[in-house]
Amino acid sequence: MDTQEQELEDIELFQKHVSDRFTELSSPPEDDALLSVSWLHRLLDVFLCCEAEFEAILIMDRDPSQLSKPPFDRLIPEFIERAVKALDICNAVANGVDSVRHCQKLSEIVISALDQNPLGDGHAKRAKKALLMLLSAMNLDDKEGTHVKATERSWSFGRRGVNKEQIAGHFRSLSWQVAKNWSSAKQIQSMMYNLVAPRGAEASGLPSPIYTMNVIMIFVMWALVAAIPCQERNGLPTHFPVPKQLNWAHSLIGLQEKIADEWKKKEKKGMSGLLDELQKMEKLAQSLIDFTDSFHFPGDAEKVKEAAANVSELKEIFGRMDQGLTPLQMHIREVFHRIVRSRTEFLDVLEKGSAPVV
């Protein structure tokens, strides 16, 4: 009786922690905007914390045979399967961060070109070229078929007059792919498959935290895919089948709806990631391109001033990316390894718990 009570207490505490953590994520401070690089770092931390607590409840001091009986003989393997899918998403997103780093690199050129006083035509031209590449890189459809190869470019065989936007740096290359015909959107969809909230007696027992962890894992993966451009995000589901009555889920659902709204808005215009820095960068790039287009030395003083302000903002975003992107990749890697370990732990538990082999 004692252990059962203890277990119920632990589960309640776990779900309270979950609720608290997501509430914190919902009201970020000033420079930690939703889906910014630093917010994503926090999201990953939340995942790691929840996961650790979850494992402690399920595995520590527990007789393995308990987890081999129904309904756990179905719930645990399902969890493990979802975990594997999450691993592939981690890889896809880590690849995607590379393409964001590429945007960062291009913005560096823009900054270097426009951060001149006085600004000349040459600078503006240089900036414009980089801006075009930047915008193109951000809005490139992350579908498979739009890969533009350097070797196929017509100018390489002596013919000139080719669209300069086609040159260089579209890292939608083969190794960016997780696999042929793989789709991050479909992956999320399949993770959501068969996700049913526990009812009745199960709702107050161990199946409950299992369901919670499943939802957290799916949400984190989903948010990552929404933020960072990665393979085939078309058709990303925007609705989460999580019942609103669940206490711990309120903040999470709130976040999810906010992000989903943004996604729906952007879906029509193009596929750049919802990453806050990317979105800001896109806006700045748009206005800077307009500026460079119409610039003639010495240029309109007002516009030059405005452009300078934009460049200054761009510098700031560049700074944040420069600081946060590589660590983000490492962080995702950490999450990846944690999920691998967790899967191994659960597999071990299942093995120990099932009837010994004769």
Q: Which residues here bind another protein, judged by CB under 8 A? A: 84-85, 87-88, 91, 94-95, 98, 105-106, 108-109, 112, 118, 120-123, 125-126, 129-130, 149-151, 153, 155-160, 164, 167-171, 173-180, 182, 297-298, 330, 340, 343-344, 357-358
Q: Which amino acid is at 138?
A: M
**Nearest distance, CB of residue 190 and another protein, angstroms:** 9
Distance CA(165)–CA(183), nearest Å, equals 27
Q: Which is nearer to another protein, 246 or 339 (CB)?
A: 339
DSSP letters spanning 327-349: HHHHHHHHHHHHHHHHHHHHHHH
Q: Which is nearer to another protein, 19 or 329 (CB)?
A: 329
Measured from the Cβ of residue 269, the count of other Cβ atoms closer than 10 Å reads: 9
**Nearest distance, CB of residue 344 and another protein, angstroms:** 8
Q: Is 209 exposed, middle or buried (0-12, 13-18, 19+ CB in 10 A)?
A: buried
Output the six-digit token pair for 53: 């607590």
Q: Which is nearer to another protein, 10 or 88 (CB)?
A: 88
**Nearest distance, CB of residue 168 and another protein, angstroms:** 4
Distance CA(67)–CA(353), nearest Å, equals 7
Return the residue matching tokens 């992107």: 325
Q: Cis (ω within 30 of 0) for the bond into 71?
A: yes
Q: Which is nearer to another protein, 48 or 171 (CB)?
A: 171
| Ramachandran bin of 200, using left for φ above 0, alpha for ψ from -120 to 50, beta for the remaining angles | left
**Nearest distance, CB of residue 186 and another protein, angstroms:** 11
Distance CA(42)–CA(38), nearest Å, equals 6
Q: Give the chain's length.
A: 358
**Nearest distance, CB of residue 211 and another protein, angstroms:** 22
**Nearest distance, CB of residue 153 and another protein, angstroms:** 8
**Nearest distance, CB of residue 116 and another protein, angstroms:** 10
Q: Which is nearer to another protein, 101 or 266 (CB)?
A: 101
Q: Which is nearer to another protein, 18 or 131 (CB)?
A: 131
**Nearest distance, CB of residue 220 and another protein, angstroms:** 17
Q: Which is nearer to another protein, 21 or 123 (CB)?
A: 123
Q: Which is nearer to another protein, 108 or 202 (CB)?
A: 108
**Nearest distance, CB of residue 259 and another protein, angstroms:** 25
| 8-state DSSP, 117 | S
Distance CA(69)–CA(254), nearest Å, equals 35
How far from 139 is each of 181, 285, 322, CA to CA, in Å? 20, 12, 21
Distance CA(60)–CA(58), nearest Å, equals 6
Q: Which is nearer to another protein, 43 or 89 (CB)?
A: 89
Do 213 and 17 form a contact (C-beta atoms < 8 A)? no
**Nearest distance, CB of residue 255 and another protein, angstroms:** 27
Do 208 and 202 form a contact (C-beta atoms < 8 A)? yes
Q: Which is nearer to another protein, 155 or 193 (CB)?
A: 155
CA contacts within 13 A on the Cβ side of 257: 8
Distance CA(242)–CA(196), nearest Å, equals 8
